[in-house]
Amino acid sequence: MAQIDTIDRQKDLAFILLHHADSVEGVTRLQKLFFLIQEETEFSDIHEKATFEFEAYDYGPFSEEIYNAIEFLLAVDAIEMVSPDSEVDEIRDNEDQSQYSGKQFVMTEKGHKITKKLEEAMDDSVESEIDEIIEEYSNLELDELLEYVYNQYPEYTKNSKIKDEVLD
């Protein structure tokens, strides 16, 4: 395996997020966790090349690039995509379903090993901030997470199909 000595790709952030969370239920939650890491930690300032471009979309902040990162992690067996034990609270219309909707993303042993190398290149304070984001937001009910993101980042709600529902 090539030496990992810098964090300079979007896939690196995907490794780091899923390593810290171990698993994430639902692609909507995954999108919001990536967004919060970029907005509420120093990660983006330090590792600018490893960040995602977010836009205001149907369910708040969204990045198509996250799907590419998920596909890469799946292809290298760093994560598994499984059906969760419980129903994932996805807020999507049937016509808007993607292959990732309603799935749980679980870091594999191989993924954890790869991420250990990436973490050696990460500042300890940023790693601590990521832990805090994961701890605080990954286990919230999806509607609570969306409410927080919508209230804190209203500029990303302008195209939302569910804004009224989330903020009522």
Residues forming a β-bridge with 81: 105
Angle among Cα 10, 132, 35 to the nearest 5 degrees reads: 35
Segments making up each domain of the chain, as ranges: 10-167
Whole-Å CA distances, 83 to 23, 33, 49, 73, 137: 12, 20, 32, 17, 21
Q: Write out pLDDT tens, residues 77-118.
A: 999 999 876 655 555 443 445 787 788 999 999 999 999 888
The predicted-structure confidence for 126-164, as pLDDT tens digits, reads as follows 999 999 999 999 999 999 999 999 999 999 999 999 999
Helix (H) or strand (E) holding 165: helix 163-167
Q: What is the pTM of this model?
A: 0.89
The backbone torsions φ and ψ at residue 54, rounded to the nearest 5 degrees and listed phi first, read: -105, 150
List, in sequence order, the alpha helices (H) in 1-157.
10-21, 27-40, 43-46, 65-75, 109-120, 124-137, 142-152
CA–CA distance from 31 to each of 6, 52, 70 (Å)? Answer: 23, 10, 11
Q: Which residue has the tokens 């899923």?
A: 18
pLDDT digit string, tens, across residues 37-93: 999 999 999 999 999 999 999 999 999 999 999 999 999 999 999 987 665 555 544
